[in-house]
Structure 1
Amino acid sequence: MKRTQINTAGYGRNPLKNPATSFFAKITSLFELLNDDLKYDHMSVNINTEYAPDYLRLVLDKLKEIWQIDETAFVHGSGHRKSDHQRKYEQLKAYTSKLEEYVEKIQICGTSRNSYSKTDTDATFMRIKSDYMGNDQLLPAYNVQIGVADEFIAVIDVNQYRSDMDCFVPLMEEFHEVYGAYPKYPVADAGYGSFNNYIYCEQHGMEKYMKFPMYKKETKDKKYHTNPFRPINSRVDENGTIRCPNDRAFKFIYRHLVRGNLYGRQEEVFECEDCQGCPLAEQCKKTPKNKRISLSRERNNMYQEVQDNLESIHGALLRMNRSIQAEGTFGIMKHDRWYKRIVRKRIDSVKAELYLVALGYNLRKYITKIMRIRIAA
């Protein structure tokens, strides 16, 4: 008699994401026990490394048919002994329910988040500074971004990303959708400067005036800037060989792609030829192995260009103007107008609320300017 395999194309793997490897291992263990029982019926359950709810429901239906299960006849409570078939069937049913719950949560969370709130599934848990003492809390929130031009709020966007770096491109695309062009000089603080965002600016005709994360340390901390043990400060001899502070050569090991980079940026890894007996070893490295360094020439050249832009007279004026207008706008909204908390749920409603707030801010700013002109006249 031919052995029948319970399997359906497309059901064997979860197309979304692996909820928990240990949970799949539990399902596999149960399937192995089921196969020991089903071999007498010349049937078997297909075993995989991952499973989808549809496949587990299919196995449940087959078991119900083969074992002639009537769930209304199941026994429960103390004093009753469950049959082997009932225990395995109920366990598989519980696994199916739990896997469906995992899949639902993954669909809500999506690929760009790793958390969400039960009371507002569009909100992401973020670190919020809730008082002036800096005692932050993990609360469901949205990342609100505004673009200010000539003291008015030109564009506003609401994101589920915790990092400001990820919010830069959506805000620029929102600006382009509203005005049909990209801003020439997008000025932002160090939370927005990244290689991805700089390349994006180049591709869309924007100048690079966003600080990179270590900008302040690079420009203000002379000791850090001139540190001879920083890879970027390593001496290169006439043959193009990188030398350590003790004049020992670094040899090229391999090149690898930078994780999370959208434009294929690579880093080169070098290793010192011999660190044994080096008098600078304690200052240079923390492990007994030969020191390794990573260099990204593309990123370093990009950072130097950004630094030159920001330290120019034009860059200094833009930075000063940003700190007055952009930070000032948030200060007026949060401190003067006491708008410190979003009152609506779901991202579409939150956007509508913030559009109204921005509209009120711009109208008030416009009327104030008109009144000043009349008084001056």
Structure 2
Amino acid sequence: MNSRKKLYLSTSALLSEINSFFGYDYPLRDEYQSWDLFYVCQYLMEVMVQTDTQICYGIGHRKSSIQRYYDSLLKMALKLMEYEEWLYTLGNRNSCSKTDLDATFMATKWDYYNQSGVTRPCYNCQIAVSDGLIVNADIFQNPGDTLTWQAFMDRYHDYTGKYPCRPVADAGYGSLDNYLYNLKNGIELVQKYGNFGKKKDRRFQKRIYNVLNWKQTEEGFLICPEGRVLDQYEGDNISRTRGGNLHIS
């Protein structure tokens, strides 16, 4: 994404220079699409053909000004088209394997074959077991389990016509979106939340300056380790989760 933003800036600078040099009026934008640049390249090529401008490459040949602009802009257009193709392939993911476009790079556990800590192209396989029997299974492209919960439960509902009453899951599945989804579909909240294990860890409890270890007053105000009550209200921090729900903190 950062490389694409840099390309946008370089494109605006080049188009501004082309407008100034030739007196054109191509609009400058914060973002471009490849076809925008190919349109300008096509026009520059038509100008070179109409003016009998010699197009030359190689050592010992001097390019004309319009050809230099054409070559630079064409290079940017091809690079931007490459970004667009990869972003289309990725979809909602942030990575994929060049040898298996459906696989996503994930951080796997250290084992005999992986002792470097590097990510590898993988799939996230989910299996639900009840009384020793597999009752649901699916494969996902997300490296984390949080975004698999709702689709996994919907798959179970499609096969059985109902949602499970008390599906037990670890803290990797706990999120505001998933808790609201459970309440909406009559699923009991037996999932662990993100810091469930940490709050019971003695080493974590010794971190007195971590907000999760602060005590609260009867009104719900936090008390810092120095004994100060944080009762000054400066407004809510409102954001949206990945599922589009409002999160107020």
Q: TM-score, normalised by structure 2?
A: 0.86
Give the corresponding residue for 2:93: 113
| SS of 1:91 mapped into structure 2 | helix
1:218 Cα deviation from its structure 2 partner: 2.6
Report the count of equivalent residues.
Answer: 246
**Alignment pair present for 1:27 and 2:11:** yes
Does structure 2 conserve the Cα–Cα contact (< 8 Å) formed by 1:258 and 1:266? yes
1:150 aligns with: 131
Query: Could you list the runs of 4 or more consecutive aligned residues of structure 1 that deviate by over 4 angstroms after TM superposition?
Result: 69-73, 225-229, 239-243
> Partners in 1 of 2:88 and 2:127 — Cα distance?
29
Q: Which residue in 1 is equivalent to 2:103?
A: 123
Return closer, same or farther for 1:169/1:99 CA change in 2, 3 Å cut-off.
same
CA 1:224/1:60 → structure 2, altered by over 3 Å: closer, same or farther?
same
Letter in 2 for 1:109: L
* Counterpart secondary structure, 1:137: coil
1:53 offset after TM fit, Å?
1.2
AA of the residue aligned to 2:94: N
Contact 1:146 1:157 in 2 (8 A): yes
The residue type equivalent to 1:67 in the other structure is M
C-alpha distance in 2 between matches for 1:190 and 1:175: 20
Q: 1:249 aligns with which of 208, 229, 237?
A: 229
> 8 Å contact 1:38–1:44 — kept in the other structure?
no
Indicate conservation of the 8 Å contact 1:19/1:103, yes or no. no
Structural mapping, 1:30-45, within 5 Å: 30-39=14-23, 43-45=24-26
| In structure 1, distance between residues paired with 2:21 and 2:48 | 10
**Aligned amino acid, residue 32 of structure 1:** S
Q: Which of 65, 71, 88 is residue 69 of structure 2 equivalent to?
A: 88
Structure-2 separation of matches of 1:223 and 1:96: 51
Distance in 1 between the 2:25 and 2:245 partners? 47
Select the structure with the greater relative contact order (CA < 8 A; seq sep ≥ 6).
1
Q: CA deviation at 1:84?
A: 1.4
Please report the RMSD computed on the Cα atoms of aligned residues, expressed in angstroms: 2.9
CA deviations on 1:268-298 (whole Å, 9 max, x unpaired) are xxxxxxxxxxxxxxxxxxxxxxxxxxxxxxx
1:116-160 deviations in Å (ceiling 9; x for gaps): 111111111111235259723311111110111221211111111
Structural mapping, 1:1-377, within 5 Å: 20-39=4-23, 43-68=24-49, 74-110=55-91, 112-129=92-109, 131-132=111-112, 135=115, 136-219=117-200, 221=202, 224=205, 230=211, 233-236=214-217, 242-250=222-230, 251-260=232-241, 262-267=244-249
Alignment check: 8 A CA contact 1:123 1:142 kept: yes
CA drift at 1:56:
1.1
1 CA distance for matches of 2:236 and 2:30? 33
Structure with the greater alpha carbon radius of gyration: 1
Take 2:73 and 2:204, find their aligned partners in 1: how far apart are those partners? 63
Q: Secondary structure at the match of 2:233?
A: strand
| Partners of 1:130 and 1:137 within 8 A in 2 | no
Q: Decide which structure has greater helix share.
A: 1
Consecutive unaligned residues of structure 2, counting only runs of 5 or more, are none
Distance (whole Å) between structure 2 residues aligned to residue 195 and residue 252 of structure 1:
23
Alignment gaps of 5+ in structure 1: 1-16, 268-377
3-state SS, counterpart of residue 155 of structure 2: helix
- Pair 1:196–1:256, CA change in 2 (3 A): same
Change (3 A) 1:71 1:257: farther
Could you say which residue in structure 2 is the equivalent of 1:346? Answer: none
CA distance in 2, matches of 1:63, 1:54: 14
Percent of aligned positions with the same letter in both sequences? 32
TM-superposed deviation, 1:71: 10
Q: 3-state DSSP class of the match of 1:119?
A: coil
What TM-score comes out, normalization by structure 1 length?
0.59
8 Å CA contact 1:165–1:192 kept in 2: the answer is yes
Q: Which moved more, 1:21-30 or 1:124-133?
A: 124-133
Change (3 A) 1:179 1:84: same
